[in-house]
Structure 1
Amino acid sequence: MKKHLQPMHTRIAQNTGLQRREFLHTSALGLLVFAQPLSFLSTMTKESAMGVIVHSYSIRWNAKTESKTFPAFTDAIQLLEHCHELGAGGVQVTLNNWTSDFAKKVRDRREKLGLYLEGSIGLPKTADDVATFEKEVLAAKEAGAQVLRTVCLNGRRYETFNSAEAFSIFKKQSLQSLQWAEPIVKKHRIKLAVENHKDWKAAELLAILKGLSSPWVGVTLDFGNNISLLEDPMEVIKALAPYAFSTHVKDVGLAEYEQGFLMSEVPLGSGVIDLRTALDLCRKANPTINFNLEMITRDPLQIPCFSEGYWATFAQTPATDLAKTIQLVRAKKYPGTLPGVKNLDFEQKLAFEEKNVLDCLSYSKNKLGLG
């Protein structure tokens, strides 16, 4: 454990249907009363420091290669301790078959450190999966989570589906999964937040939520993902913020390539997202929302919007959306080369990942006033 508590500056030096008003009233504030003791109400309006999503440590999380400087995080407790050391307000972490005993250990450590916890959970794919889903919900609640982030698609829409029919099947399956999940989160009074995960356009996700018409199912609002679907990031944030239970805060760098454009998470303040406005929109809609950093250190993603295959599920997308997106890419092109990791060895990747998280948390505190 001491390895994880080594001062950070030392390590870096060592290695370079619902109506909006009804939805908000019942989900953002009203449900909080049921989920928390009365003592919590006195701190409702106090904003936490920026939290950290486990994906911000996608290289270090359960890494198989050993590192003395950046030892792997193998469970949520280690991630909590590290993020506390960095001054983060909490974590959003995957539920990896947590037992009740481990959930209690997470709760005890989280409470001692004074951090919030959000879970990340998979949806039931069949009726037989519902029991496992409920078990994970209970473990998350035992650990102190009030919000569970989930996704309908683990991949990317334009890479996964080669026809409108295939996407239509996925849509029906996703709705069924949410219909299985909703009674469980309602029963245990814990909120389920569906991410716009390069799968749903904003209007599609809103239609799903209105169809479910449940105050227990809302959004994990990712600030940048929908650029890959040719949607303006601020328009997406405006549309989804009223339904947001949680966030994935990121900034995005853009550049052209022959088949379309590249997009990459970049340190906060260096990309195209209007972070101040985005945070204000989320706060206005949900004063209790947590802001969770998703700074994934990786090579830029290719968005092949000039290729025929990209358009298999976007028959109704107007050409103006493509034109506006390319205009955004050209007008706000990332200065220099988008950051990547392909030319770094493993230790360098770890150091780069840590630096990115530290830079983002520093910007969050000093420029955005979080923490």
Structure 2
Amino acid sequence: MTRWALGLDSYSLRLQGWDAFAFIRYASEMGLDAVHFSERANLASHDRSYLREVRDEARARGVALEVGLGSIDRHAASFDPTYGTAEEQVTALIQAAAEVGSPIVRCFLGDRRDRAGAVPLGAHIEECERVIAAVAPVVRAHGVRLALENHGGVDLLARELRAIIERRGFDVVGACLDTGNPAYAGEDPLLAAEVLASYALSTHVRDTAVWEAADGAMAQWVPLGEGNADLVGIRDLLVAQAPECPFDLEIITGSGPARVPYLTAAHAALYPHVAAADAARFACLARDGMRRGLGPRRQILAVRGAITPPDTLERLRIQQRADFESSVAYARNRLHLGQRAA
């Protein structure tokens, strides 16, 4: 049986305090095929000698690499100008990607805050597309494409992201398909995969528990197998339509359920162009969660914006690693992913 590449998104283990080399060693020890460095900070330097050390360590251990950065929209709430304009940041990451052998640079527009801020969503999309067009010559020169993510619970629905790719060209930009973010916007993760699989260059794969609530639904990210996202269906779509695309696990736990009030006017204002059939798909997913008896996961919770006591932080580290490793086991044993033996 052919098995497809299984990778680690560094954000899954963000509390471990690891550098790039530690992530690569861990991936190798776990028998994983790839490490997806989703943030610029995962690389300590863009110095050529350092990048080649990272590349050589990964090659020696048989681990493929992907790199990324954050927002490329200067209007976005999460855009960080520390390293220059979006064009400068993307160009630097493309050059770093070429050095370490990454075929993509993951990036995103922003997050759901940008759908309701002072700048209209259309202007955010225009700025994102302007940056993509500006760096297109660099993309083509280095053979490193952009992988634009449906990010932040969510900045772009799948059909919106697909439209950007089709306008700017798949030779320049594809999708980093995140299977966890769609549900937080009232979108079925399987639907997102149906729309984006043919353009997928990379992934952030995780499961989500979705169940009904008075004003719509609740959603919570969970380890693989604990939710009701159709992971088999998502796998099958990616295997058929994007066979070179790795399944990079981005397992995010330690946070409580989120409201998804898709039955309210406020939600409709945030996502005004959702087709009735798409909304119905999510409603079915929420009903399915109720039938299964899904609800809040019992786990250690991190408190946003608060200082975490050292003992709680250590417990979160242990939980984070355990949840990731259980997800690796599920991906191998139930989804038949992974090309290497642990």
Give the superposition deviation at 1:206. 1.5
Match of 1:14 in 2: none
| CA deviation after TM superposition for structure 1 residue 162, in Å | 2.5
Q: Map 1:189-204 onto structure 2 (within 5 A).
A: 189-197=143-151, 198-204=154-160
1:287-325 deviation line (CA, Å, top 9, x unaligned)? 221110010123133324355443333233356654542
2:181 corresponding residue in structure 1: 225
RMSD, matched Cα: 2.6
Tell me the amino acid that sits aligned with residue 12 of structure 2: S
Per-residue CA shift, 1:15-59, capped at 9, x if unaligned?
xxxxxxxxxxxxxxxxxxxxxxxxxxxxxx974542110111133
User: Is the counterpart of residue 103 in structure 1 residue 66 in structure 2?
Assistant: no
- Residue 182 of structure 1, aligned match among 136, 143, 153: 136
Change in CA separation of 1:331 and 1:48 when aligned onto 2, cut-off 3 Å:
closer
**Cα offset for 1:152?**
1.1
The residue that corresponds to 2:105 in the other structure is 148
**Which deviates more from structure 2 when the two are superposed, residues 355-364 or residues 278-287?**
278-287
* 1:242 maps to 2:198: yes
Q: Structure 1 residues 170, 129: CA separation in 2 closer, same or farther (over 3 Å shift)?
A: closer
Residues 349/135 of structure 1: CA separation in 2 closer, same or farther (3 Å cut): same
Matches within 5 A, 1:304-319: 304-318=261-275
Q: For residues 200-219 of structure 1, what are the structure 2 equivalents within 5 Å?
A: 200-219=156-175
Write the distance in 2 (CA, Å) between the matches of 1:292 and 1:128.
Answer: 28
Tell me if 1:337 matches 2:296. Answer: yes
Give the TM-score of the pair, scaled to structure 1: 0.76
Partners of 1:366 and 1:322 in 2: CA distance? 32
Equivalence for 1:273: 229
Distance 1:362 1:168 in 2: 41
Partner of 1:255: 211
Q: Which amino acid aligns with 2:47?
A: T
Task: Tell me the residue number matched to 2:329.
Answer: 362
| Partner of residue 306, structure 2 | none
Structure 1 gap ranges (5+): 1-44, 61-71
What is the rounded CA distance, in whole Å, between the counterparts of 2:24 and 2:171 in structure 1? Answer: 29
Could you say what secondary structure the match of 1:296 adopts? coil
In the TM superposition, what is the alpha-carbon distance from 1:179 to its structure 2 partner?
A: 1.5
Identity fraction in percent: 28
* One-letter amino acid of the structure 2 residue matched with residue 184 of structure 1: V
Runs of at least 5 residues in structure 2 that lack an aligned partner in the other structure: 75-83, 303-310
**Worse-superposed segment, 328-337 or 191-200:** 328-337
Is the CA contact (8 Å cut-off) linking 1:254 and 1:338 kept in structure 2? no
Instruction: Show CA shifts across 1:264-296 (max 9, x none).
Output: 221212222222221121121122211100101
CA distance in 1, matches of 2:281, 2:72: 37
Secondary structure of the corresponding residue to residue 58 of structure 1: helix
| CA positional deviation for 1:113 | 0.8
| Whole-Å separation in 2 of the counterparts to 1:109 and 1:275 | 32
Structure 1 segment 102-141 matched on structure 2, within 5 A = 102-122=50-70, 124-125=72-73, 128-141=85-98
Match of 1:59, SS? helix
Q: Distance in 2 between matches of 1:358 and 1:311?
A: 38
Change (3 A) 1:124 1:328: closer
Aligned to 2:241: 285
Q: Secondary structure at the match of 2:120?
A: helix
1:143-167 Cα distance to aligned partner (Å, 9 max, x none): 12112211111x2x2x443269621
Compute the displacement of 1:240 (Å): 0.8
